[in-house]
Structure 1
Amino acid sequence: MKKMTKVSLAVVVLLVTSIIAAGTVWGSNALRKIDAVANDNIKIYYNGDLANLTDTDGSKISPVIINGRTYLPLRAMSELLGIDIEWDGTTQSIYLSTDSTPSNTGTPKPQTTPAPSTETSKPSKNKGTMDDPISIGDTFYWSAKEKYIDTNVSADYSFTLLDVKPMTIDEIKDLGFNVTSNNEKFDYVMITAKVTVSNAKVESGEVYPELAFAVDIWGTKTPSGYSVIGGTDYGFDGSLNRSFSEVVKGSDGLTKKLKAGEVGNYSYTGKAIIPLTKGEENYLVITKGYSFDYNDRFVYFRLK
């Protein structure tokens, strides 16, 4: 995953003409004239090296001055800084991403519930096993090909446990859930996690992405051998399930199915209620997919 370079977006966001195809129809209320001056004398240095900003045809691009402010071409700067960029002419949208895989599904990407900053998250050096669980803030990556109903689907995944907070029975009830288990044996936490689904594909027909590509929470396990199966990642605002559902909605508010031949890329952040065995160290357990051998199917995350 690429790291976003700290550059003011006000500097790079305006000049997008090099990525917009000729003939695109703009709404008349979105057009306005501006006075601009190109300055060929301005030099751009990146990490001490002189940058040569060029258009897609190789021609030189110069910074432009508008009302005393300097603006730089978006595509040239994104390539220089290692930021992925996509233009969707249908929705008049520009997508910037620090992920190595672009997010082109042909529809605007609604924002999910804000989550703690992931600027410090990094690929985990841990294996994700019971003996070597993933630490909070680290990211675990894997790929899977699964059978979904009557077709095969495949994708690359990542899961980052961002935050863990204790949760009371009253707080769970306030979300609309009844707690019927023996509370003398169980505690509960609310986790916040970030999930990415990249290169999502379906072999035939069409599927709802949030059903075919959802990451399953198995439950929790302890090093001493206790297990609690289950976790509630649905049914309340900000849950992982609802966050995924929001990401795959189109501008009309309806879920966009992923069809054979299309590639889906999704990123969302959400919460889940997780039961714990009291008095024990507990690890969160998720499944990579049921096509894996049983011993390689589960990924373990530290909860503290």
Structure 2
Amino acid sequence: MKKLSKLSLIVTGVLITSLVTVSSVWAYNALRKVDATANDNIKIYYDGQLKSFTEEDGSKISPVIINGRTYLPLRAIADLVGIGIEWDGATQTINLSSNKQSNNTPVPTSAPKSTSAPVSSKSKGTLQDPVKLGEAYSWSAKEEYLDTIASADYTFVVKKVEPITVEQIAALGFKTDADDYKFDYVMVTCETSVSNAKIESGTYYLGLPFYRDVWGSKTPSGHSIIGGTDYGFEGSMNDMLDEATKDSEGYLKKINAGEVHNFKYEGKVILPITKGQENYLVIVKDESLDYSDKFIYFALK
């Protein structure tokens, strides 16, 4: 397939109608209405990696179809391919630059990207090629959950890794074992974005079909420790999932067949690791895959 240059990819992705605001007479005359359809099922790959575009609140930015052509916000595409972008509201001008220089004026096509936002990983997320610390990994999964099929697009990033002692773990209310001296422990802070989440039948609590389980830790040589504590303490990943999927009255939301939901949460995991070796956090990627393919590996340093 012929590859587009960065600039042609940018131009293809411009949604012009979302860039124009009514700030002068000539701008008003340039406005025109179009019929557009957002399509949540379209998947976007860049260099073989599935990409997910989200607003700051975790909601998915979906491709929009106008007259048979597919559009994405210019800011999302520019950030993806490394093109500098700036918006001049006075002259209604978009300036693109190959060296990614830009001023502080936002382009009103999507939420501005934070300078601390994780970059997308180009790794395969395997034991031989783990996702780097601080980099985001995106994928899609369609798997069986109880009596239904759940599907969603996911983005997961390990944001912080801190050592934690057995005494600190006990202070959180967890009983420690006599064998704890054989392991080290770390507190891992992770962020998960879930978009286009839906089920094929029934009604379930929103978070449960889409929660990514912590399998444990593994070294590059294959030494494994199964398990990790992601619940039962303040800020735990499981508890933060519950917070992210509550309604305005504080009750856990439910998802019904045919509905589409998006949510995002950040939480912590107490992870046992092998002493004196490099370790990876292991997350269940997709239960429907073969055992050798169902996990994602995230570097912890």
Q: Above 0.5 in TM-score?
A: yes
With over 3 angstroms needed to count, the CA separation of the structure-2 counterparts of 1:262 and 1:125, relative to structure 1, is same
- What is the root-mean-square deviation of aligned Cα atoms in Å? 2.7
2:290 matches 1:293:
yes
With over 3 angstroms needed to count, the CA separation of the structure-2 counterparts of 1:177 and 1:295, relative to structure 1, is same
Partner of 1:129: 126
The one of 204, 208, 212 aligned to 1:207: 204
With over 3 angstroms needed to count, the CA separation of the structure-2 counterparts of 1:205 and 1:97, relative to structure 1, is closer
2:97 matches 1:100:
no
AA at the equivalent of 2:167: D
Query: 1:204 aligns to what SS in structure 2?
Result: coil
With over 3 angstroms needed to count, the CA separation of the structure-2 counterparts of 1:227 and 1:39, relative to structure 1, is closer
Give yes or no for contact 2:149–2:199 (8 Å, CA) kept in 1.
yes
Shift of 1:98: 7.9
The 2-side partners of 1:288 and 1:190 are apart by: 21
Query: 1:268 aligns to what SS in structure 2?
Result: strand
Shift of 1:119: 2.6
Partner of 2:148: 151
With over 3 angstroms needed to count, the CA separation of the structure-2 counterparts of 1:265 and 1:275, relative to structure 1, is same
With over 3 angstroms needed to count, the CA separation of the structure-2 counterparts of 1:164 and 1:97, relative to structure 1, is closer
2:237 matches 1:240:
yes
Which runs of 5 or more residues in structure 1 are unaligned?
1-37, 44-50, 59-82, 86-94, 103-116
Matches within 5 A, 1:1-304: 40=24, 57=33, 99-101=60-62, 119-304=116-301
Shift of 1:174: 1.3
The 2-side partners of 1:246 and 1:128 are apart by: 28
The 2-side partners of 1:96 and 1:56 are apart by: 29
Moved more, 152-161 or 179-188: 179-188
With over 3 angstroms needed to count, the CA separation of the structure-2 counterparts of 1:153 and 1:84, relative to structure 1, is closer
Give yes or no for contact 1:210–1:241 (8 Å, CA) kept in 2.
no
With over 3 angstroms needed to count, the CA separation of the structure-2 counterparts of 1:53 and 1:258, relative to structure 1, is farther
The 1-side partners of 2:179 and 2:131 are apart by: 29
With over 3 angstroms needed to count, the CA separation of the structure-2 counterparts of 1:54 and 1:139, relative to structure 1, is farther
- Give the helix-richer structure, 1 or 2: 2
With over 3 angstroms needed to count, the CA separation of the structure-2 counterparts of 1:120 and 1:178, relative to structure 1, is same
Give yes or no for contact 1:101–1:265 (8 Å, CA) kept in 2.
no
The 1-side partners of 2:294 and 2:203 are apart by: 26
The 2-side partners of 1:218 and 1:274 are apart by: 10
Query: 2:181 aligns to what SS in structure 1?
Result: coil
Query: 1:212 aligns to what SS in structure 2?
Result: helix
The 2-side partners of 1:84 and 1:243 are apart by: 19
Percent identity between the two aligned chains: 50
Alpha-carbon displacement from aligned partner over 1:164-200 (angstroms, at most 9, x marks no partner): 0000111111111111151231000000010011111
Q: TM-score, normalised by structure 2?
A: 0.64
Give yes or no for contact 2:58–2:194 (8 Å, CA) kept in 1.
no
With over 3 angstroms needed to count, the CA separation of the structure-2 counterparts of 1:137 and 1:52, relative to structure 1, is farther
AA at the equivalent of 1:204: S
Give yes or no for contact 2:58–2:263 (8 Å, CA) kept in 1.
no
Partner of 1:15: none
Alpha-carbon displacement from aligned partner over 1:128-181 (angstroms, at most 9, x marks no partner): 111111111111111111111111111111110000000011111111111115
Give yes or no for contact 1:118–1:162 (8 Å, CA) kept in 2.
no
With over 3 angstroms needed to count, the CA separation of the structure-2 counterparts of 1:193 and 1:118, relative to structure 1, is farther
The 2-side partners of 1:224 and 1:190 are apart by: 22
Give yes or no for contact 1:136–1:161 (8 Å, CA) kept in 2.
yes
The 2-side partners of 1:278 and 1:53 are apart by: 68
AA at the equivalent of 1:157: Y
